Amino acid sequence: MSGFLAKLEIDVRLLGMIVALAVIWLGFDYFSGGLFLTPRNLWNLSVQTASIATMSCGMVLVIVTRHIDLSVGSILGFAGMIIGVVQARILPEQLGLGFDHPLIWQIAVLTGLIVGALIGTLHGFIIAYLGVSSFIVTLGGLLIWRGAAWWVTAGQTVAPIDARFRMIGGGIEGSIGASASWILGVTASLLAIAMMQFSRRRRISYGFAVRPVWAEALISAIIAAMILGATWVVNSYNLPTAVARRITEARGDIWPEGGLSIAHGFAIPVLIALGAGIIVTFLALRTRFGRYVFAIGGNPEAAELSGVNTRRTQMLVFTLMGLLCGVAACISTARLQSATNAAGTFDELYVIAATVIGGTSLAGGAGTIYGAMLGAIVMGSLQSGMLLLDMPTPLQNIVVGCVLIIAVWVDSMFRRRVK
């Protein structure tokens, strides 16, 4: 088996996570009486995981540089509250823009991104240039921004939210439909295969070892099958009849007597999370910034002696983390259809757990974006499954805590084995 995996060049830890996820899914499906592995639950699971997966992308780079960010949940809550106030109070009351104005959601999104990026830059400046520990800075940020979120509206929930903005959170109409999903799925499959072939040719041109042709074909087939399988699942979950009828009549079509099935397709927040993962992966693997990040994580002193501006790079890492918190704030606020003070509570726990479960080493220098996103799916699956089984909240927290401890233990064991 080890020789077979070596020829496939598959990360053993990634394979272990996939096996663990399969066990979790099958276990919860069995104990829930077949409710877990349904298109409806899997679609909702993907939407619920989107904000955590988005922030996990940034947390990978933070931990790779040997830092930690405990404030991501509070930044999400504060940015979400600002987003709500901007589109529900400031724009309609002070600028006279109605709730149907097309600029409402654009200004709200831009505001969330700016707020998150500014907070992240502030944290990064204090950590990188003033030399304060990231643990202390972000622990203080956890308290400061959670309190600031309450202070903005004196604890009141802000609603309603613009209809176009709500689509960012998924919901009934926050998806792209069956046809667009199939086009996207097929295109993504072909692009993935083309990129693997391009990478193979480059390795051959540089004289590097490559996988056997059969291994390359097998991995390409598995990736395409996973993408198309996910597309089939999201297209198997149909809109409620009343909503489907309203959409059909709004298009000017006649509602048939036997009814009509309209599939959800991929949810918009899921596509946003995937887009964030692709962009951060590109930054980490294909840019000078990404090389500097991993160099700092591997050996900060050597990186600085090599001419890397370690302070600026570390500040930019926290800026990116804050920006992704702003994206997650848009997703969370749109999904809840309101801005609440409870938004983002304990999200820092789930983001860090997802990142560590995904294989990012707390010692720094090693981590992958796709691993963190897979870890986010693991955490989301645990939450979803425990809710289906009606487990009490204290017991859910115990399970999550145990999973985090086990993940760190596995990471330490793996690093000892590598050494």
Residue-range domains of the chain with CATH: 40-174+267-418 (1.10.3470), 177-252+259-265 (no CATH)
Lowest mean pLDDT among 41-50, 178-187, 246-255, 314-323: 246-255
Considering the entire predicted model, what is its pTM?
0.91
- Cβ–Cβ under 8 Å, residues 330 and 161: no
Res 6: pLDDT: 60
Q: Give mean pLDDT, residues 40-51.
A: 92
pLDDT band per the 50, 70, 90 thresholds, residue 293: very high
What is the arithmetic mean of pLDDT over 209-217?
79
The H-assigned helical ranges of 154-256 are 163-166, 178-205, 213-235, 241-250
Half-sphere exposure of residue 45: CA atoms within 13 angstroms, side-chain side: 26
Length of the chain: 419
Residue 125 contacts residue 315 (beta carbons within 8 Å): yes
The four Cα atoms 279, 281, 286, 288 give a dihedral, to 10 degrees, of: 90
Residue 69 pLDDT > 80: yes
Judged by average pLDDT, the poorest of 97-111, 266-280, 374-388 is 97-111
| pLDDT at 4 (0 to 100) | 60
What residues are paired with 175 via a beta bridge? 267
Write down the pLDDT at residue 415: 63
Percent of the chain scored above 70 by pLDDT? Answer: 95
pLDDT score recorded for residue 2: 58
49-57 mean pLDDT: 94
Please give the average per-residue pLDDT across 158-183, as a whole number. Answer: 86
What is the Cα–Cα distance from 268 to 263, expressed in whole angstroms? 14
Phi, psi (degrees; rounded to nearest 5) at 13: -70, -40
215-219, 232-236, 259-263: range with lowest mean pLDDT: 259-263
With H, G, I as helix, E, B as strand and everything else as coil, classify residue 263.
Answer: strand
Tokens found for residue 46 = 């993907």
d(CA 267, CA 246): 19
Note the pLDDT of residue 8: 61
